[in-house]
Structure 1
Amino acid sequence: MSTQYTLVETAPARLTSISSRPKNEAQNPSWGPYLELTRFSKPAGLLGAYFPYFIGFLYSVNLTNPTALSAADWVKLSAIFLLDGLILRSFGCAWNDTVDQDLDRQVERCKKRPLARGAITTSNALATTLILAVARHVLYYATLPARAGQHALLTTILALTYPFMKRFCNFPQLCLGVGVGWAVFLVDAAVVDGPYAAGSAAKLNAQDRSKAMIAMFACQTLFNITYDTVYAFQDIQDDLKAGVGSLAVAVRHHPKVFLLSIASAMAAFLWATVSCGGLMRGPFQAGAAVSSLAALVMLARLNVWDPRSCRDFFVHSQWWVSGVLVIGLVGELLMANF
C-alpha cells in the first residue's frame, strides 16, 4: 500500500537581506563552523562537482591525442581540477548558505547550518566566500591557459546566481546543472590550449570536436539536473511552506515522468558522445550502456517521497553513472596507448 503525502503550498518566498541574523549569532566562532560552511566536513558531495571535470578531461584527451600527455602532465592537471572542484564546491556552499540563511531556518534539514543557527557572522561568511572565489581564479591564472580561466569565470557567475533563482522561479537546478556541467568546456580549453597537445595531430576536426564536446556537456548537465532534483525532494515539504522554488516543486505531481524523461535525454546525449567522438573500441561504449541503464533502473526504483532514498540515489548514482563513465574512458586511453 503506497503512502499518501499532503503537500502544503504557500506564497513565493520574499527576498530578504542576507545580513539578517538570529539574536544569538556568534561573534568569535571556532574553525568547526567554517568547515561546515564550506562542506569540508562532508567530502562525499565533492563527487558531484569533480566527476564532470575528470570525465571532461578524459574525454578531451581521447579526442585530442590519447598519447600526448606524460605521467607528470596527468598528475598536474588532475590535481588542479580536483583542487578547483573542491574550491568551487566550498565557495558555492558558503555563498548559498549566506544568501539562504533566513530560508534555511525554515527547513528542517538546513536549520542547523552554521549561519542559520548563528555560529558564524554574515560578514565572516562573506569574507570566506570572497577568499574562495579569488583563490580559484588565482589558481587558474597561475597554472592554466587564459581560455580555461574565462570558462572558470562563467561558472563563478552561475554559482553566484544560483541561490537567488529559488526565490523567483522553480529552476535553480538548471543553473546548477549548467554550472557544474560547464567543467567539460573548462578542462577541454586547458587541454587544447595547453602545451600538452602542441604539435600533435588532432583526431577530429574543429567542427566534429565541437559537436562531441557539446554532447558531453549536455549529458553532464542533464545528469546534474537529475540528481539535484532528486536531492531537492528531501526538503519539498518545508520548501512549499517557505515558498522556496525548485524543480522538485515544479514537477511534484509527476516526478517519475520528469526524471525518467531527463535521464532518457541524458542517455541519448551520452550515446552521441560515443558516436561524435569516434570512441568505438568498446570500453566507452560499454560504459555508456551501463551508465544509461543504471540511471534509468535507479530512477524507476526511487521513492522520491523518502528522504533516505533520495540521499542514497545521490551517492550511488555518482558511482554507477559517472564512475562507470570514467572507467570506460580510462579503458579507451589504455587501448590507445597499449
Structure 2
Amino acid sequence: MRSEPFLLTIMPRWLAAYVELSRLYEPLFVLIIYLPILAGLFHGALVAHPQITPEILLQCVFNWLPLSLLWEAFACIVNDIVDQHLDRKVERTRNRPIARGSISTHQGCTFAALVSLMILTLSSQILPSFSFLYFFLTTLGCIIYAFSKRFTSYAQAVVGLVHAVVSLLASYSVGFDAFSAPRNVLISSLSLVVAVFFLVTTYEFIYAYQDMEEDIKFGMKSMAVKYGYSGRAVLLAFSIIYGGLLILSGMAGALGQNYFSGAVCSIVTVFLSASLVDLKSPQSCSQCFLYGFVAGSATLASGLLAEYAF
C-alpha cells in the first residue's frame, strides 16, 4: 500500500494531487535546485569589485527561493506528463498523480503553463536583463530533458548544463558581470560554473541508476544505461575534475581558507558519493542523490558565504 506524506493527507484530495505532482512537499528536491544557485550568488558577491553589500545579497537570496520552487515544480510536472506511459509500468513511479489518473494530461499541461507564466513574471522582477534567458533555459531545458531520454544517453548532462548557466545568471543578479571582470576573476567564475556542471551531472548520473533496468527494458537512454556498472570510473573521474575546478576557482580568485574549507568538504563529499554508492541498489542511489547532492552543494555554498562574511 502506498504511504503518503503527512502534509498530503491533511489537504483536499484535488490539492494534494497537484502538490504531489510538483514535489513541493519534498524540501530536499528544492534544495537541489537552490543550493547551486546560492553558490553562484555568493561567489559573485565575493569577487565583485567593489564587493556587493550584504543587503543586496540577502535580497537576492530571498528572491531566488521562490524561483527555485517554481523551477523544481515545472521540471517535475513536465517530466511526469512526458513519462506517464512509462511511469505506469515501473513500480517506483506508477503511483505518481498523472500515471495513476488523479490528474489528467490536459490538467497537467494547464498546470505546467501556469507555473511557467509564474516563472516568467517572477524572473522579470529578479533578472530584468536576463528574464527571457532564464525563462528559456529553465522551461526549454526541462522539456528537452524530458524528451532527450529517448534520443541521447547524456540527458543528465543536459540538466548539469542548465544548472551551470543558471548559477552564472545568479551571479549577475547581485550586480556582478563575470565577463567584464579582470581575467583572474573571470577564470574563477567560469571554473565555478563548470564545477557546478560536474557536481549536478555526477549526482544526476547516480540518480539514473535507480531505473537502469527498467530503462533498458523499455528502450530509454541514460548515462547509467550507457556505462552500466562500469560507470563508477566515470563518476570518480567527474569527482576529481570537480575538485580540480574548485581549487582552480579559489586560486584564480585569491580566495582564502574559509572558501577552501568549504570546497574541500564538498570535494570529499562528492568523491565519497562516487566511491561508496551501491549502483545496484535503487535505495542507495536515491539516498546518495538526495543527501550527497545537498551536502556537497551546501558545503560549497557555505564556504563561499563564510569567505564573503569573514
In the superposition, the TM-score normalised over structure 1's length comes to: 0.83
Equivalence for 1:274: 250
- Alpha-carbon shift at residue 328 of structure 1 (Å): 1.0
Equivalence for 1:297: 272
User: Is the CA contact 1:212–1:272 (under 8 Å) kept in the aligned structure 2?
Assistant: yes
Q: 1:208 to 1:150 in 2, by over 3 A?
A: farther
CA distances 1:170-210 after superposition (whole Å, capped 9, x unpaired): 111011111122221111221226xxx9xxxx9x8343333
- Structure 1 residue 329 and structure 2 residue 304: aligned? yes
CA distances 1:268-302 after superposition (whole Å, capped 9, x unpaired): 111121122221x2111122122112221232121
Find the residue that maps to 1:293 and give its secondary structure: helix
Equivalence for 1:192: 175
User: Is the CA contact 2:36–2:301 (under 8 Å) kept in the aligned structure 1?
Assistant: no
- Structure 1 residue 126 and structure 2 residue 109: aligned? yes
Aligned alpha-carbon RMSD (Å): 2.0
Find the residue that maps to 2:251 and give its secondary structure: helix
Distance 1:68 1:140 in 2: 20
Q: 1:30 to 1:301 in 2, by over 3 A?
A: same
- Alpha-carbon shift at residue 143 of structure 1 (Å): 3.3
Distance 1:151 1:30 in 2: 31
- Alpha-carbon shift at residue 70 of structure 1 (Å): 3.9
Equivalence for 1:157: 140
User: Is the CA contact 1:219–1:269 (under 8 Å) kept in the aligned structure 2?
Assistant: yes
Equivalence for 1:117: 100
Equivalence for 2:9: none
- Divergent runs of 4+, >6 A: none
Q: 1:45 to 1:76 in 2, by over 3 A?
A: same
- Structure 1 residue 76 and structure 2 residue 52: aligned? no
Equivalence for 1:54: 38
Equivalence for 1:236: 212
What is the letter of the counterpart of residue 331 of structure 1?
A
- Alpha-carbon shift at residue 145 of structure 1 (Å): 2.9
- Alpha-carbon shift at residue 149 of structure 1 (Å): 4.3
Equivalence for 2:158: 175
Equivalence for 1:254: 230
Distance 1:275 1:149 in 2: 33
What is the letter of the counterpart of residue 315 of structure 1?
L
Task: Name which of structure 1's ranges 33-42 and 138-147 shifts more when overlaid on structure 2.
Answer: 138-147
User: Is the CA contact 2:52–2:174 (under 8 Å) kept in the aligned structure 1?
Assistant: no
User: Is the CA contact 2:45–2:57 (under 8 Å) kept in the aligned structure 1?
Assistant: no
- Structure 1 residue 265 and structure 2 residue 241: aligned? yes
Distance 1:305 1:64 in 2: 45
User: Is the CA contact 2:120–2:131 (under 8 Å) kept in the aligned structure 1?
Assistant: no
Equivalence for 1:209: 185
What is the letter of the counterpart of residue 33 of structure 1?
A
**5+ long unaligned stretches in structure 2:** 1-12
In the superposition, the TM-score normalised over structure 2's length comes to: 0.90
User: Is the CA contact 1:155–1:182 (under 8 Å) kept in the aligned structure 2?
Assistant: no
What is the letter of the counterpart of residue 322 of structure 1?
S
Alignment of 1:309-328 (within 5 A): 309-328=284-303
Distance 1:209 1:149 in 2: 26
User: Is the CA contact 1:108–1:238 (under 8 Å) kept in the aligned structure 2?
Assistant: no
Distance 1:189 1:317 in 2: 27
Q: 1:254 to 1:140 in 2, by over 3 A?
A: same
Distance 1:141 1:290 in 2: 35
Equivalence for 2:196: 220
User: Is the CA contact 2:262–2:303 (under 8 Å) kept in the aligned structure 1?
Assistant: yes
Structure ranking higher in helix proportion: 2
User: Is the CA contact 2:229–2:279 (under 8 Å) kept in the aligned structure 1?
Assistant: no
Aligned residues: 298
User: Is the CA contact 1:107–1:239 (under 8 Å) kept in the aligned structure 2?
Assistant: no
Equivalence for 2:69: 86
User: Is the CA contact 1:66–1:333 (under 8 Å) kept in the aligned structure 2?
Assistant: no
**5+ long unaligned stretches in structure 1:** 1-28
- Structure 1 residue 143 and structure 2 residue 126: aligned? yes
Equivalence for 2:3: none
Distance 1:156 1:208 in 2: 33
